[in-house]
Amino acid sequence: MLHSTYKCNAGCPVEGTMEVIGGKWKGVILYHLLEKTYRFGELKKIMPGITQHTLTKQLRELEAYDIVNRKVYAEVPPKVEYSLTERGKSLEKIILMMRDWGAANLSLAK
Amino acid sequence: MLHSTYKCNAGCPVEGTMEVIGGKWKGVILYHLLEKTYRFGELKKIMPGITQHTLTKQLRELEAYDIVNRKVYAEVPPKVEYSLTERGKSLEKIILMMRDWGAANLSLAK
DNA sequence: CCGTATCCTGCATGATACTG
DNA sequence: CAGTATCATGCAGGATACGG
């Protein structure tokens, strides 16, 4: 979700943040990682709709922005854990507010 | 930005909010409307990168979510003003936090 | 001035299969 | 288990032209 061809104006920081957390699944990923560290397979399990390919990509992008930390254990079978970096944790309020707003304003329940 | 085929889980409200404000320009639009009411042409002017087509579409989507209000003046030449609804204003904190986070964490300056 | 109508394109996301 | 490699696709967003 990179919009490199941006005519910058006063609203830019807002859009910049959108680019970081604006992927289709990034909000959910961050929301889960807020709670605890997760292994790759666990994330896949709690987000049944996402494919392996896409999950990997979104995690890599979050990693590139220094939002999530990727810890690889040199074991067999492999084990990879994802957690929030300090910068990632600084998004907590935003994520939680988005959750609350969504819960209050959208009829996602059923 | 509708993802109708969603496997819902705990993170859903977050994603729901993302769908509402997650368009490429919606963040900026909302950020500007936070400040004051704008006419269509004014919005276009302060967001030089967006096309008329896309601006119209994003505004219509925000309108559909009851985030912005569209007021048409029966004049010649036509005059259309966009403002935030109450629901739109309730997003203010989120938008401002996104702005602050972006300003603090991204090197968009210059 | 504020749109809508067409047409087009890139890229985010997905499906599927294979590997260290 | 946690990925890459390929290939496919839908749709958000853009270019352009026209209309009330």
Q: Per the CB < 8 Å rule, is A106 touching B17?
A: yes
Q: Is A14 exposed, middle or buried (0-12, 13-18, 19+ CB in 10 A)?
A: buried
Copy the structure tokens of residue B81.
């003003």
Whether the CA torsion A31, B2, B39, B28 is positive or negative: it is positive
- Closest residue to B22, CB basis, from A6, A12, A22: A22
Mean pLDDT, residues B72-80: 94
Q: Supply the pLDDT for residue B106.
A: 86
Burial letters for B66-96: b for 16+ Cβ neighbours within 10 Å, e otherwise? Answer: ebbbeeeeeeeeeeeebebbebbeebeebbe
State the pLDDT at residue A11: 56
pLDDT in tens, chain A (110 residues): 444 334 455 558 898 999 999 988 999 999 999 999 999 999 999 998 899 999 999 999 999 999 999 999 999 899 999 999 999 999 999 999 999 999 999 874 43
Domains detected in chain B: 13-98 (1.10.10.10)
Question: Tokens for A69?
Answer: 């930390």
Say what the pLDDT of residue B107 is. Answer: 73
Cα B100 from chain centre: 17
Structure tokens at A80: 């990879």
Smallest CA–CA distance from B106 into chain A, residue: A16
What was the pLDDT predicted at B43?
96
Cβ of A101 within 8 Å of Cβ of B108? The answer is: no
Asked if A20's CB is within 8 angstroms of B27's CB, the reply is: no
- Residues A88, A90: Cα–Cα separation, whole Å: 5
Taking only the tens place, the pLDDT of each residue in B35-45 is 999 999 999 99
